[in-house]
Structure 1
């Protein structure tokens, strides 16, 4: 009996050891993958930092003429071969062609050198000795493994990896939006095809654009920011139950709440689940009890009436605005988003990367925040975006409550709820490909001017990612904006304050709703 027990014990020990060894091997592989991606980002950061330092020295005139000009590192394929999907690889010339080019360059170098020695002529320049790669084009390995072609740039001018284009933002009908200062409205002009050296440049949605030699510093100035113009409304209705809001000035209740609903019908949420207008009608009843002034945007006459009924007896003010979704830049990019999502190789995450309308709706909160903040009809110091279904946990609530700015809020940042720890070492493609969460996007909090700056930066980032063939919903685009690589290439002007959920501090146990309930204060 004892012998059998010993034998059984030995077998269990061996089995456990094998399982543990397999687990350790799997962990080692996972750690190696993470380590590789992290080190790639770190290497790229070092390269770009070195490049920026030398270029700054050249501009200031403090660099010796003999100082070599480093090649600007690139984390994305160049403009001549933009990526349409995350895993594209750029084809380059073969090794045999490269070697043949080297031999030709070496022969040319030796002939010129011998001629100068023989004739002793000072006027004949000696060409630079060729390197192991062609002088015009050098092969470079990008962080994601794709081979890229980097064009050699002049010594005193920072190379640009993208052609400068005119009027990159297009409306849905491919007409260019132009701001007229006299009226503040938008005029639609049909784009005229133009070429440079007989080669037309295609914009994101098919309109012809012109490539110029404008310095990179002017590239941002050419971006047409629709956030700078006030939106046009189809209809607006206001309920005035409070004469003025001076009594809350300078307090943590000086907040305008912004929300919206755009009707795209019933849509799949994945896993056999779906959601539609009826569910939102049920969730939005909570707005009957919010005491802050509320601005509601919609393209639905039905929801316009429902929301007005919910807010009619609230001891606060409400403005309901009916608007065309085509007025928003977030829907003007829909044709390009549709092209990206139609690619069979693009990651399919329902509905984030399968339903263009859904993705466009998530981006719409930022032009709407900008519109409300610019007008500031209730003279609020702060603004908060709250998804129409955000307070679903208390949909049957009958208690009045205020939304207040938390004492720990940093007024120079945008507040959001942290879902997982920082993912800034990941690449933009990884964040989108596997839907890597950092913050939740159901609620945002910010001071008026900070929001106006952030919404502009957000739009520019979304358009930049579109050019790279990368797109998803707002929470992943924000995560992509704050990666280490993006921070170096496009430093953010506004930081995110990610509120880490603290157990027992709010009435909710769901981290997605933490910040909203941190701001929730019942009327006693």
Structure 2
């Protein structure tokens, strides 16, 4: 067919173009509205449940026998956290890109507490420094750029990878596959011990907060306080399952979890001793050709099968039924207060 013989009237062509433009504009308006609605903070069931739970704090405190949700929101807690550049990795069934965690720099910087931050990424160090100067200029901020080649935890990588490469070793992404992920979990306790030993922690209490723990939270700022029922001399964690004293092998091979490593809090002296005992637990597990994350190391440390008795007790907090949407972060929410 000779397409040159077909003539499209100018009016018809103009009308067609205008109609297509109108349809395109309407599509983006509707799509943008839906997207904004999906992104609007606090509208999904999880956010609503958490907000309602936290809002009950005043009444809980007034009635004896109820859950003691509120905390003493003193500013005598130093927050220690870290970001280690590990590249992309699989977590569970999801591919976690490095920028997924990098986006949390602004949220961590919002904390209204002294902040000690460790990283091997100069770019993230600059971001944290910028955000803290912008949002919390009057509060202590120590940003430490690490050389992971000098790190105790990262120095364990070849031995841990050899354990993961054993025939028949369980494959849980990433904790028993990616040695970099495993050593990053152990590095928490290395940098926490360094923060205390170096004298950077100048408060009575200190907490560890995973860098990505508040990735789903919105808000202008928050502070971390001390639970009013915390026991001096112990380190507090969120408990997921009761300690059933399984063997260290079952803890690793069945990927068992007793307490959650994302957040813990305690008096400085107790945390310092705990970090030393944690290191002993790591070396014991490597000696016995076992390894996973800090959660499995802690479970092993406090199992009756572990002969080197830890010197610090763990105080556990279990999420009540009304907090079922985020039971892994119950203690973190107990200690957090949003500032408006």
* Residue in structure 1 matching 2:193, options 362, 370, 394: 370
CA–CA separation in structure 1 for the residues paired with 2:198 and 2:73: 20
* Residue in structure 2 matching 1:457, options 277, 282, 286: 277
**1:451-490 superposed matches below 5 A:** 451-486=271-306, 489-490=307-308
Q: Does 1:393 align with 2:219?
A: no
Structure 1 residue matching 2:206: 3-state secondary structure: strand
Give 1:446's aligned residue: 266
Check conservation: 1:416, 1:444, Cα contact below 8 A.
yes
**1:149-164 superposed matches below 5 A:** none
Give 2:228's aligned residue: 407
Structure 2 residue matching 1:421: 3-state secondary structure: coil
Q: Deviations over 1:345-370 (max 9, x none)?
A: 21111111100000000000001000
Check conservation: 1:287, 1:310, Cα contact below 8 A.
no
Check conservation: 1:296, 1:321, Cα contact below 8 A.
yes
Check conservation: 1:257, 1:293, Cα contact below 8 A.
yes
* Residue in structure 2 matching 1:285, options 81, 100, 106: 106
CA–CA separation in structure 2 for the residues paired with 1:252 and 1:429: 41
Give 1:300's aligned residue: 121
Higher RCO, 1 or 2 (CA under 8 Å, sep at least 6)? Answer: 2
Q: 1 or 2, which has the higher helix percentage?
A: 2
Q: Does 1:341 align with 2:170?
A: no
* Residue in structure 2 matching 1:516, options 322, 332, 340: 332
Give 2:315's aligned residue: 497
Q: Deviations over 1:408-430 (max 9, x none)?
A: 11121111101112232x11100
CA–CA separation in structure 1 for the residues paired with 2:103 and 2:280: 35
CA–CA separation in structure 2 for the residues paired with 1:378 and 1:436: 32
CA–CA separation in structure 2 for the residues paired with 1:256 and 1:465: 30
Give 2:64's aligned residue: none
Check conservation: 1:256, 1:378, Cα contact below 8 A.
yes
Give 1:324's aligned residue: 147
Structure 1 residue matching 2:90: 3-state secondary structure: strand
CA–CA separation in structure 2 for the residues paired with 1:263 and 1:255: 26
**1:45-444 superposed matches below 5 A:** 252-271=74-93, 273-313=94-134, 314=136, 315-394=138-217, 396-398=218-220, 400-424=221-245, 426-444=246-264
Check conservation: 1:417, 1:500, Cα contact below 8 A.
yes
Check conservation: 1:423, 1:479, Cα contact below 8 A.
no
* 1:452 Cα deviation after fit: 1.3
Check conservation: 1:403, 1:519, Cα contact below 8 A.
yes
- The structure with the largest alpha-carbon Rg is 1
* 1:502 Cα deviation after fit: 2.4
CA–CA separation in structure 1 for the residues paired with 2:75 and 2:302: 30
The 1:503–1:285 alpha-carbon spacing in structure 2 relative to 1, beyond 3 Å, is farther
* 1:320 Cα deviation after fit: 0.7
* 1:375 Cα deviation after fit: 2.4
**Please, what TM-score do these two structures have when normalized by structure 1?**
0.49
Q: Deviations over 1:285-335 (max 9, x none)?
A: 212321101011001111111111221121422111101112221111111
Q: Which runs of no fewer than 5 residues in structure 1 stay unpaired?
A: 1-249
The 1:435–1:378 alpha-carbon spacing in structure 2 relative to 1, beyond 3 Å, is closer
RMSD over aligned Cα atoms: 1.7
Structure 1 residue matching 2:187: 3-state secondary structure: helix
Which runs of at least 4 in structure 1 moved beyond 3 Å after TM superposition? none
**Please, what TM-score do these two structures have when normalized by structure 2?**
0.75
* 1:378 Cα deviation after fit: 4.9
Check conservation: 2:222, 2:337, Cα contact below 8 A.
yes
Structure 1 residue matching 2:81: 3-state secondary structure: strand
CA–CA separation in structure 2 for the residues paired with 1:269 and 1:349: 8
Structure 2 residue matching 1:485: 3-state secondary structure: coil
CA–CA separation in structure 2 for the residues paired with 1:521 and 1:376: 27
